[in-house]
Amino acid sequence: MTTEVIHDSHQGDEHHDHKMTGFKRWLYTTNHKDIGSMYLWFSFIMLLIGGAMAMVIRAELFQPGLQIIEPDFFNQMTTVHGLIMVFGAIMPAFTGLANWMLPMMIGAPDMALPRLNNWSFWILPFAFSILLASFFMESGAPNFGWTFYAPLSTTYSNGSTAFFVFAVHIMGISSIMGAINIVVTIMNMRAPGMTYMKMPLFVWTFFITGYLLIAVMPVLAGTVTMVLTDTYFGTTFFDAAGGGDPVMFQHIFWFFGHPEVYIMILPAFGIISTTIPTFSRKQLFGYSSMVYATASIAFLSFIVWAHHMFTTGMPLFGELFFMYCTMLISVPTGVKVFNWAATMWRGAISFETPMLFSVAFVVLFTIGGFSGLMLALTPVDFQYHDTYFVVAHFHYVLVTGALFSIYAGVYYWLPKWTGYMYSDALSKWHFWCSLISVNILFFPMHFLGLAGMPRRIPDYALQFADFNKWVSIGGFAFGLSQLIFLALLLKCIKGGKKAEAKPWDGADGLEWTVASPAPYHTFEVPPKIK
């Protein structure tokens, strides 16, 4: 994308800033930058809480036998860890990035519906308070896995299920409103001259993700509603005795759940497609093929859900259909990986921290993609299903995929947000510690899974002991590495070397045409794009 920008002179003049002071600024704000910052902070706090739970899990699994926690509490840990990381850490982090960057990238004064935007954010802390508060209830927190399969979540659930359901309901409302805001902003707020095919790829990926969210979050709401009525009101959606079917739960859940995993990875593609061209000092290779690939992945994500359920005894036709459709996804995904490689090819590459995370993303996400391809094969999935191989697979795509891309994005735009350059040394420490520990953490899980270690069990057979010890050590190291990032972040907000308007010489896009830190209001007058 090449854009030439003609500026109106009075951009971001200070007297337009009606910024309130103190807590009211954050409670009442309608500013996309404030709301973006709140989303990002919220997601980071959730990452640390969810990470702490992961460490409890890894501490228990450090050696065979039951040492630290009861199996029921272990189940609560795995459940809430999953829910928090998916709905509390990754998704809000992406929404935060969207809030901060979309209006600046398309030359809009703010998000299309600023008050709705604030509502979307403030629902989240309340929703997660309910979820976390359930730990202090008599029955304990939800213990049926983040996928809350019936009948674990219906017939056999503990007393906190109703709270779980309503917490998911309100976080779903938040997601839907946030997604509507993103889609409407992109459709309606682009600066004159910015046609769809001139939008940065980052914008494209959020556009498509927004559609996915609007389409599937209501299905999740329907699923939890059925769980609620099955548990408390005697309906029999998931009870064969009344003519329903527990497997029906899995179909409806994964109809939401599979697009959901693309909701967590498409924005990552957008970030990587922004950083790699910048630090390769080349244009993104195959822009339009990237757009079409993203759209194809989004479409395919609606017709592959049952690959999560190969072992449920589906009719053979279903198994084959979902296997082939799933394998088909590797085509557009491959297009993306090759395009990133081609972007770097013969580029003048430099390895600033955002680029380090981006390159790590491409390599490690591809590993996660390959293990996904293995899991897509119905016959071999009978072996891998519900083993640590699956855990390794989705942590490669979610941690070294989604989370690494978020770090790449944050390191890329942090100077724009704070106006200061962050500590290069700390960021490199953060990267290398994370990179090494995350592979010690997740790579051996492949072998554990292939050898047959089941997931979600607090104990294991003796032959798995060595690998588990290493996995746990990697887990603690990875968790602690994130504290380096916290230190770096606090330091960068306080001060440091002043950042220029465009700190990366290869960067392209409207966000770099405004000062660093970005003025409270940007593009009140839309820029013209040729």
Partner 1 sequence: MTTKEYETYYVPAQSHWPIVGAIALFLIAVGAGEYVSNLKSEEAGFGGYVLLAGIALVIYMMFGWFNNVITESMSGKYSHQMDGSFRQGMSWFIFSEVMFFAAFFGALLYARVFSVPWLDGAGNNFMTGEVLWPEFTATWPLIKTPDGTETTAMGWYGLPLLNTILLLTSSITAHLAHVALEEGKRPMVKFWLGLTVLLGVVFLFFQVMEYAHGYSDEMKLYLDSGIYGSTFYMLTGFHGMHVTLGTIMLFVVLLRVFKGHFTPDNFFAFQAASWYWHFVDVVWVMLFVFVYIL
Catalytic residues, by residue number, are 81, 110, 146, 174-175, 258, 260, 262, 273, 307-308, 333, 336, 455
Q: Work out how close the CB of 176 gets to partner 1 at its nearest, in angstroms, rounded to a whole number.
A: 5
| Token representation of residue 202 | 């980052």
Nearer to partner 1, 318 or 517 (CB): 318
Residues 6+ away with beta carbon under 8 Å from 235: 226, 229, 242
Nearest approach, Cβ of residue 94 and partner 1 (Å): 18
* CB contact at 8 A, 35 and 121: yes
Determine, following the binding rule CB under 8 A, whether residue 76 of this chain makes contact with partner 1.
no
Q: Which stretch binds partner 1 (CB under 8 A): 93-101, 165-173, 434-442, 498-506?
A: 165-173
CA distance to 83, 213, 234, 287, 382, per residue, from 293 (Å): 29, 18, 45, 10, 30
Q: CB under 8 A: which stretch of 23-31, 263-271, 273-281, 440-448 binds partner 1?
A: 23-31
Q: Whole-number minimum distance, CB 281 to partner 1, in Å?
A: 33
Token pair 């929703």 is found at 127
Long-range contacts of 254-257 (CB under 8 A, 24+ apart): 254/305, 254/306, 254/308, 254/309, 255/216, 255/219, 255/302, 255/305, 256/216, 256/217, 256/219, 256/220, 256/223, 257/147, 257/305, 257/308
Residue among 62, 73, 119, 429 that touches partner 1 (CB under 8 A): 119
Q: Please list every residue from 24 through 53 that binds partner 1, using CB under 8 A.
A: 24-25, 27-30
520 is a site residue for partner 1 (CB under 8 A): no
221 binds partner 1 (CB under 8 A): yes
Out of 11, 63, 236, 383, the residue judged to bind partner 1 by CB under 8 A: 236
Query: At 33, which amino acid appears?
Result: K
The interface mask with partner 1, positions 282-321, x = CB under 8 A, is ---------------------------------x------
Q: Which of 83, 189, 264, 397 binds partner 1 (CB under 8 A)?
A: 189
- What is the C-alpha separation between 364 and 30, in angstroms, rounded? 38
Give the Cα separation of 329 and 293 in Å (integer).
9
Rounded Cα–Cα distance for residues 454 and 105 (Å): 45
Smallest gap from Cβ 79 to partner 1, in A, equals 17
The CA R_g of the chain, rounded to the nearest whole Å, is 23
What is the smallest separation between the CB atom of 513 and partner 1, expressed in angstroms?
17
The residue from 67, 155, 188, 350 that contacts partner 1 (CB under 8 A) is: 188
Taking the complex as a whole, the smallest distance from the CB of residue 127 to partner 1 amounts, in Å, to: 7
**Residue (295 or 342) nearer to partner 1, CB:** 295
383 near partner 1, rule: CB under 8 A: no
| Cα 328 from Cα 524, distance rounded (Å) | 44
